Amino acid sequence: MGKTLFEKIWESHIVVEKQNGPSLIYIDRHLIHEVTSPQAFDGLRMNKRKVRRPDLTIATMDHNVPTNNRSLPILDQTSAVQIQTLEKNCKDFGIKLFDINSPNQGIVHVIGPQLGITLPGTTIVCGDSHTSTHGAFGTLAFGIGTSEVEHVLTSQTLWLEKPKPFEIRVDGKRKNPHAVTAKDIVLSIIKNIGTSGGAGTVIEYCGQGITDLSMEQRMTICNMSIEAGARAGLITPDEKTFDYLRNREYTPKNYESLVDNWKEQLKTDNDAKFEKQFTLNIDDIAPQVSWGTNPGMTCDVTESIPSPEEFSKGDANQKKGAEKALDYMDLKPGIPITDIKIDRVFIGSCTNARLEDLIEASKVVKGQKISTNVRAMVVPGSQMVKKQAEDIGLDKIFINANFEWREAGCSMCLGMNPDILSPGERCASTSNRNFEGRQGTGGRTHLVSPVMAAAAAIEGHFVDVREMDLS
Amino acid sequence: MKGNIIKYAQDNIDTDVIIPGQYLKVHDYAELATHAMEGLDPDFHSKVKEGDFILSGRNFGCGSSREHAPIALSHSGIKAVLALSFARIFYRNAVDGAFLLPIEIDEDAYGGISEGDEIDIDISTNEIKNITKNQTYKMKPFSEIIGKIISAGGLFKYKPDKD
């Protein structure tokens, strides 16, 4: 029987395999950041252990770094301590760090691919659930907790139970690819399979709807695999993948011979078996807007807020969840999505803060001003994205429209730095989670694409971007 | 292992409500514990007692990879979370650091056990006794590796068998 891409990568990384049990899996790259690593380093010191492969470990600071003027000291003392601790740990253990002043600093999942650290057919882990992003390159990549971070630091391996392969086929062609984006595809998938639909699996995305996407768009898809409960997301690498990674700062010297091997080895066999399958046709999908408090609570921009009965389809817990979500979000069934007024707009995060995201959003913003009732910010995914955007004048487009143009970091995606919502504020956000309090206590999050967020900033409420000229 | 139930009859309790992001900077576990479940139940800290269990629905612990989530619950006194299903990273974090036991239950247990019930969990027989109601339910047995990490007392105490 043939094998899936996931199974091939898994098998090529087995160090020890137990009969019907877990496998010890080799980890090719370990990305670390300031929030989930300090206790792991404490553990190493306590047990007098070293980092086994500092050369395969890369660090940056992204979760709690301020996104305003970086020449000023960090006011939040606990954040400052966490940042200084990472600096000390990297120095003590010989780990490469892209610190707050580095031109390579940024969200860990944005800088990995940008620097050519993320490579097809490899394994990557990071103490962050959105590590699934790197799967866009045919990389088996997943998030781990701090104990596992310590295990990888000390052994470069992990004990893992083998997830099941899950095929998600995306067929069809979007009529307006500027208005209906990768974010809308992945939100549609989660809306259909639910937030635990991918539990225990690694998702392989395939079909024309996926191969048509650019690498940055594919990252948006794989990024949100975790929101469907999956371990990881994977896309078979192709010429777009190989072109993207060519000539990056850390691209291996023998790159072309690696590409030859990848072309031959990194694909799912025709007769491979998947444990689970799901197909989505995207010919006619609309821009998506989340209305509730998990990413599965999402509908088309043309729809109205569903009633808990409609949404739950008879499931008591789902109904209760929807009632609670509507209460938290201060919304009522039947309200058209386009009637929902917003207070804040956040264009950022590892889901949607790469250069293409900012270019697409800028088309909506150019020559316009944001609504007087809205406060809006753009937080580029990395300092490199920021510079590239400034080189083509995007900063001016956003600033002239009264957007705030910030330094790179996770920012208002998770509310660890000063960029947070006030209680009751409603935000159109390009991030990945609309959980209660995610963007600040009492804050209300609607997940959307960058163009949808930009249009909401201009109009002060959600609009169907298919009605705008985005070419 | 005996304890009393704190029940959250809902699905998808995420790590952001278990421990909101603003507290991920807190290094002191006792202080972290004072913010456990703050996003969902501001009374949690005042009502939780050492040895209590949480009972909840599907996909418990979804979201972030923050190990702070099981740590905050554990240092609040929670010894086990009983749920219809768990998000994978939370599940492994709970076990790896020996913070608490993630127990997968069925609909009988989920519906049968109420807030405040006294429960006795026996992981050697995979049985859950409801002492208050005099009922018995089955729990899903741990997989081999998870069982061994639990018996060892965490990932770093686990030594694989030679075979």
Q: In this complex, which of B21, B97, B145 lies closest to A414 when CB atoms are compared?
A: B21
Asked if B160 has any chain A CB less than 8 Å from its own CB, the reply is yes
CB contact under 8 A, B66 and A294: no
CB contact under 8 A, A436 and B16: yes
Helices A215-223 and A355-365, interaxial angle, to 10°? 100
* pLDDT level of residue A18 (50, 70, 90 thresholds): confident
- The Cα-based distances of A7 to A266, A298, A425, A426 in angstroms read 10, 32, 45, 43
What pLDDT score was predicted for residue A49? Answer: 97
How big, in percent rounded to 5, are the helix, strand and coil portions of chain B?
A: 30, 25, 45
Q: H-helix or E-strand containing A170?
A: strand A164-171
* pLDDT level of residue A471 (50, 70, 90 thresholds): confident
Whole-angstrom distance, CA of residue A214 vs CA of residue A204: 17
| CA distance to partner chain B, nearest, from residue A165 (Å) | 15
Task: Look at A19-23, A261-265, A321-325 and tell me which has the smallest mean pLDDT.
Answer: A19-23
What pLDDT score was predicted for residue B159? Answer: 86
Rounded to an integer, the average pLDDT of A263-279 is 98
Asked if B41 has any chain A CB less than 8 Å from its own CB, the reply is no
A81 neighbourhood in chain B, CB within 8 Å: 25
Task: Look at A49-63, A68-82, A260-274, A348-362 and tell me which has the smallest mean pLDDT.
Answer: A68-82
Q: Is the pLDDT of residue A39 over 80?
A: yes
* pLDDT level of residue A63 (50, 70, 90 thresholds): very high
* pLDDT level of residue A72 (50, 70, 90 thresholds): confident
pTM for this prediction = 0.97
What pLDDT score was predicted for residue B66? Answer: 95
Rounded to an integer, the average pLDDT of A296-305 is 98
CB burial class (10 A; 0-12, 13-18, 19+) of residue B22?
A: buried
**Closest of A297, A67, A30, A118 to residue B14, by C-alpha:** A297
Asked if B75 has any chain A CB less than 8 Å from its own CB, the reply is no
Looking at this predicted complex, what is its ipTM? 0.95
Rounded to an integer, the average pLDDT of B7-24 is 96
Q: Which residue has the higher pLDDT, B26 or A97?
A: A97
Q: Which residue has the higher pLDDT, A335 or A74?
A: A335
Token code pair at residue A28: 């090719």
Average pLDDT over chain A, rounded to an integer: 97
Q: In this complex, which of A43, A159, A196 lies closest to B58 when CB atoms are compared?
A: A196
Q: Is the pLDDT of residue A20 over 90?
A: no
What pLDDT score was predicted for residue B162? Answer: 63
What pLDDT score was predicted for residue A143? Answer: 98
Q: Is the pLDDT of residue A231 over 70?
A: yes
- Helix ranges, A330-412 (H): 355-365, 383-391, 394-400
Asked if B87 has any chain A CB less than 8 Å from its own CB, the reply is yes
Q: Is the pLDDT of residue A171 over 90?
A: yes
CB contact under 8 A, B17 and A436: yes
What pLDDT score was predicted for residue A19? Answer: 78
Rounded to an integer, the average pLDDT of A289-293 is 98
A21 neighbourhood in chain B, CB within 8 Å: 144-145
- What confidence tens digit (pLDDT) does each residue in A346-366 have? 999 999 999 999 999 999 999
Q: Regarding beta strands B135-138 and B127-130, do their DSSP bridges make them parallel or antiparallel, or are they unpaired?
A: antiparallel
- CB contact set of A19 (below 8 Å; sequence gap of 6+): B163
Q: Is the pLDDT of residue B163 over 60?
A: no
Q: In this complex, which of B10, B24, B63 lies closest to A35 when CB atoms are compared?
A: B24
> Are A250 and A117 spatial neighbours (Cβ–Cβ below 8 Å)?
yes
Rounded to an integer, the average pLDDT of A28-52 is 97
Rounded to an integer, the average pLDDT of A180-199 is 98
* pLDDT level of residue A33 (50, 70, 90 thresholds): very high
What pLDDT score was predicted for residue A71? Answer: 86
What pLDDT score was predicted for residue A130? Answer: 98
Asked if B63 has any chain A CB less than 8 Å from its own CB, the reply is yes
B16 neighbourhood in chain A, CB within 8 Å: 414, 433, 435-438
CB contact under 8 A, A39 and B67: yes
Q: Is the pLDDT of residue A259 over 60?
A: yes
* pLDDT level of residue B161 (50, 70, 90 thresholds): confident
CATH class for the domain made up of B2-157:
alpha beta
Q: Is the pLDDT of residue A178 over 70?
A: yes
- The Cα-based distances of A408 to A37, A59, A373, A382, A444 in angstroms read 20, 15, 25, 5, 23
What pLDDT score was predicted for residue A188? Answer: 98
Domain extent listing, chain B: 2-157
